[in-house]
Amino acid sequence: MSRSIEQIERRRALVLLAPATLWTVLFFALPFGVMAVISLGDGAAVGRSPAGYAGNYLRFLNSPEFVQAFVNSLEITLTVTVLSVLLAYPLAWIVAEEIPARYRRLALALAVLPFWTSYVVRSYAWSLVLAKQGVLNDGLEAVGLPALALGNSRAAVVIGFTHFFTMLLTLTIYSSLVQLPPNLRRAAADLGAGPVAVFRHVVWPMTLPGVAVGAFLTFALCIGDYVTPQILGGGNDLALPQLVMLQLGRAADLPMASALSIILMAAVTLAYLLTARFMRAVR
Amino acid sequence: MKTMISTLALCAGLLPAVALAQGKELNALVWCDHTDDALIKPFEAKFDVKVNLKEYEGTGAALSLIEQSQPGDWDVLVIDGIDVPRAVAAGILGPLPVDQLPYDSLFPELVMAENQVIDGKTYAISEKFGYNTVSFNKSKVTAAEMADMTRLWSGDFTGRLAVYDYYLPVMGMVAVGLGLKTAELTVGDMPAIEAALMALKDSAASVGEVVASQTAIATGEVDILVGGGEWVTAGLVSENPDLDWIIPEQGAVRWSQSIGVFADSKEPDLAVEFVKHVLSPEGQAALATSACYWAMPANKAAGDVMTPEQKAALRWDDQAAYLGKAQLYPAPDAELDAAMQDVWTRFLAR
Amino acid sequence: MMGGPVKRFAACAIYMVLIYGFIFLPVIVLVLFSFQDGRFPVPPLKGLTLKWHAEVLADEDLRAALLNSLIVALASSLVALFFGFLAARALAHSTMRGAALLRGALIAPMSVSYLVIGLGLLVSFNIAGVGLSLVTVAVGHVVINLPLCFAICFAALGAGEIQAERAARDLGASETRVMWLVTAPMIVPALLAAFLLSVTFSWDEFLIAFLLSRFDVTLPVEIWSLLRSGLNPKTNAVGSLVFLVSAMAFLIAELSMRRRT
């Protein structure tokens, strides 16, 4: 009995898919499920959450400090996303359009070189720059400007994040820009459109999907980050990941930590759905 | 394909090979002051063993780590003296051989038998102590201004102070400042403490752990550190001689670290040897002047090995007066501890 | 009066200077104060010394952490690339039912916070009684790199590769030989990009490594410990050395590729 070609191909495909799928199920989906189940459980021995399956989530909603941390995370992340796009787009555009082809890759490489310092150390370096007697204030005072109290604050966290994500977005927006077919722009120019109009009606709409994906990536990475707020925040305006680590480390409250993480995931999923819908609308 | 598989196999094989190559190991859960080579290397050389150290930032974090570990994962535990009963009740610590340890040459207040001797068995021995009080930069703030603790949260120093991120001593200090006794705290005292704490947070420029606190005051980011003490300033005073500390008139809080052996340790004899090493005069001197933070050694015999400058930085001769003015950390039961942690979370999030 | 192109050039130049300044500011400060002759890495710069760099190079824990980071990065990236390539090969131009769903499922972990992934694995390993080690860290890193490798390989497998495969199969080659001798070489740039990106992500990853390791730690975790065990410019020195080495490696790769093109 001979098998049809499709059956052979399907069996082959399944064999090829097996390792990746098994890994994702075993080490991603399953742990996530375990965490979700644990988040429904009771907290540390002294049951700080109300009883019942939704206990930890109810505690989240009823605790101003948890809700505030969530709001902080959202505010910081949205600010960082907008700022990073605003800073990265012109840079990507200049590198893609204005810089001669020979130096383009070098310019891009230079723009993202600090990527290669350790993430932890880079945040620490910002704390040195923004300290009360740090480099920034020394520079400001040298030119006669008043010193800024940026250290240990939400501003410092936003600056640290924006620094990282500007570099990331420069990469993604640049690759979006260079993939544009040049004929479209030439055609628009031939039809009499000035450079601003070409940008508004051709370049921007066509790079929008790339920007949207980059922005979503920024949102997802930024809202879940623990290192930068911990190093630059000085214990002010706590973000949600910091509260998760607090529950994990000090309170040994694994169920609450799990519940908070799931709430974080929900925010990212919502952002994903919004981005997907936006991309469909734009296309 | 073949090269990929052989590379994978090599990488997979490297890890267990690395593990097998290491001989005897001792795993210790410690505060950051135990990582100095001056303390660890002599022990490693003498017993031909590798000491693995994991640092934590507070008893809660340590207990959380232990909970997430398997039995036999750890051998030595450094834990705040006040928390020893908790650790013993949880079955974490095993008994120590009293005759092998220098209990007679400890400072008398540091013997702390009521915490460390349970049912006739000794489970831990004090190794280091100090104070959580007020550190300050004496070129910016005078000692007279620091004498009244309640001024810290009265708004007189807004934006000029930092708070050490550890709930037990800071809440203990606030309690002392309000005239309460740390040993007699109840849930009913929490609202008053919380009110003072919130006012303190509003005045604070930052809240951080050990090194962040040292950085804040040493680099001039703030002028006052609440919860600081000699552990902040003694090691840094050679670089910044303006750093000073004082115990306010209301008093302050004394911290003490104890060291003990895990009940389920796989190397119990080696663990006891490590404890003996830390309590020896040389070990005590190294511990007292560790890079992370300096503080008084519990064993008086260390004084014979330390230099006069080191002892002056630690105010060795004034200790009797300080010990009289300081109360121990609060030792809350589970319910009070949960309440305190909740207040602290609100404090941090404010 | 300046003409249009000159104004545009000036505007671009000013923007570039400002933004490159912003991007490089923390790195310059970091490197500068790693030579600080004093314990506090803040201005004023008291004098220059190589003492902190020497201490870093002599530090056994840092050297061990560096080696660990390399091993974990290489191992997890190889596994992620291997599995990702196989899966991409299976799903590219597949007419199977549920192919789109499977594709989505394999890419999903990319948008999940490392905190969530790390916490989930920590909890699961706890329950399963598995001890934490570099192996558990590598497992976590494969989870975050697998979707990336899969996505890159999937995007690179186009119609051209399918035709070439068909031709090879018609000529009698077995399936395995088709995959390794035809498909893979055709998408070598994508494979390389996926591998390098995975190595970069794993190398610098802190949160999962922090949650899932015990004593043998990776470099970011060791640096974090450094930050917590004493105030001194040694941390600056570590950061500077890591930056200088990786920047040099990157620039060398960049320049050698330029020579080829």
Model confidence at A1: pLDDT above 70: no
Of C27, C105, C123, the CB nearest to A114: C27
pLDDT of the residue at A86 = 95
pLDDT of the residue at B331 = 84
pLDDT of the residue at A46 = 44
Name the β-bridge partners of A265: none
The answer to whether the Cβ–Cβ distance between A125 and C227 falls below 8 Å is no
Tens of pLDDT, residues C235-249: 889 888 888 887 887
The answer to whether the Cβ–Cβ distance between B60 and A252 falls below 8 Å is yes
Q: How many CB pairs under 8 A join A and C?
A: 229
Helix (H, G, I), strand (E, B) or coil at B56: coil
pLDDT of the residue at C45 = 79
SS percent in chain A: helix, strand, coil, step 5? 80, 0, 20
Tens of pLDDT, residues C159-187: 677 778 778 878 877 777 777 777 878 78
Please count the other Cβ atoms lying within 10 Å of the Cβ belonging to residue B264.
14
Model confidence at B305: pLDDT above 80: yes
CA torsion angle B113 B119 B123 B125 (round to 10): 10
Q: Band the pLDDT of C2: cuts 50, 70, 90.
A: low
Q: Band the pLDDT of C259: cuts 50, 70, 90.
A: low
Tens of pLDDT, residues B183-226: 889 999 999 999 999 999 999 999 988 888 888 888 888 999 99
B242 touches chain A (CB under 8 A): no
| Token duo for residue B254 | 């004394």
pLDDT of the residue at A51 = 66
pLDDT of the residue at A44 = 47
Nearest to A264 by CA among C122, B345, C116: C116
> How far is the C-alpha of A169 from the C-alpha of A175, rounded, in Å?
10
The answer to whether the Cβ–Cβ distance between A19 and C238 falls below 8 Å is no
Higher pLDDT, B57 or A69: A69
CA dist list (Å): C75 to B13, B273, C82, C114: 11, 39, 11, 19
A227 touches chain B (CB under 8 A): no
Mean residue pLDDT of chain B comes to 87
Range picked from A107-121, A204-218, C94-108, C183-197 for highest mean pLDDT: A204-218
Tens of pLDDT, residues C105-130: 898 888 788 998 999 999 899 888 88
pLDDT of the residue at A78 = 96
Can you tell me which residue has the tokens 């040459």? Answer: B105
Model confidence at A3: pLDDT above 70: no
Q: How many CB pairs under 8 A join B and C?
A: 67
- The answer to whether ipTM exceeds 0.95 is no
The answer to whether the Cβ–Cβ distance between C223 and A118 falls below 8 Å is yes
A202 touches chain B (CB under 8 A): no
Give B60's contacts in chain A (Cβ within 8 Å). Answer: 249-252
Name the β-bridge partners of B54: B29
Nearest to A215 by CA among A268, A153, A157, A159: A268
Range from B14-18, B83-87, C241-245 carrying the lowest mean pLDDT: B14-18
Of A14, A20, A163, the CB nearest to C146: A20
Q: Output the pTM of the full model.
A: 0.85
pLDDT of the residue at B68 = 78
- Mean of pLDDT values over B304-319: 88
Contact by Cβ (8 Å): C9, C15 = no
Tens of pLDDT, residues B153-183: 998 899 899 999 999 999 999 999 999 998 8
C-alpha of A281 from chain center:
22
- Mean of pLDDT values over C49-69: 90
The phi, psi pair for A133, rounded to 5°, reads: -110, 35
B98 touches chain C (CB under 8 A): no
Of A44, A151, A250, the CB nearest to B61: A250
The answer to whether the Cβ–Cβ distance between B55 and C230 falls below 8 Å is no
B57 touches chain C (CB under 8 A): yes
Q: Band the pLDDT of A48: cuts 50, 70, 90.
A: low
Find the closest chain A residue to B339 by CA distance.
A48
The answer to whether the Cβ–Cβ distance between B55 and C229 falls below 8 Å is yes
pLDDT of the residue at A45 = 43
Model confidence at A52: pLDDT above 80: no
> How far is the C-alpha of A260 from the C-alpha of A265, rounded, in Å?
9
Contact by Cβ (8 Å): C195, C156 = no
Name the β-bridge partners of B129: B256, B296
B45 touches chain C (CB under 8 A): no
Q: Band the pLDDT of B11: cuts 50, 70, 90.
A: very low
CA dist list (Å): B219 to A276, B243, C227, C232: 48, 10, 15, 11
Q: What is the DSSP string of B90-147?
A: TT-EE---GGGS-GGGB-GGG--HHHHEETTEE--EEEEEEEEEEEEETTTS-TTTTS
- Mean of pLDDT values over A181-199: 80
> How far is the C-alpha of A242 from the C-alpha of B295, rounded, in Å?
30
CA dist list (Å): A134 to A69, A124, B174, C23: 28, 12, 32, 17
C129 touches chain B (CB under 8 A): yes
Model confidence at B270: pLDDT above 90: yes
Q: Which chains touch A (3 or more CB pairs under 8 A)?
A: B, C
Helix (H, G, I), strand (E, B) or coil at B327: strand
Nearest to A273 by CA among B219, C111, B144, C175: C111
The answer to whether the Cβ–Cβ distance between B206 and A46 falls below 8 Å is no
pLDDT of the residue at B4 = 47
| Token duo for residue A182 | 């040049």
Q: Band the pLDDT of A30: cuts 50, 70, 90.
A: very high
Q: Provide the residue count of chain A.
A: 283
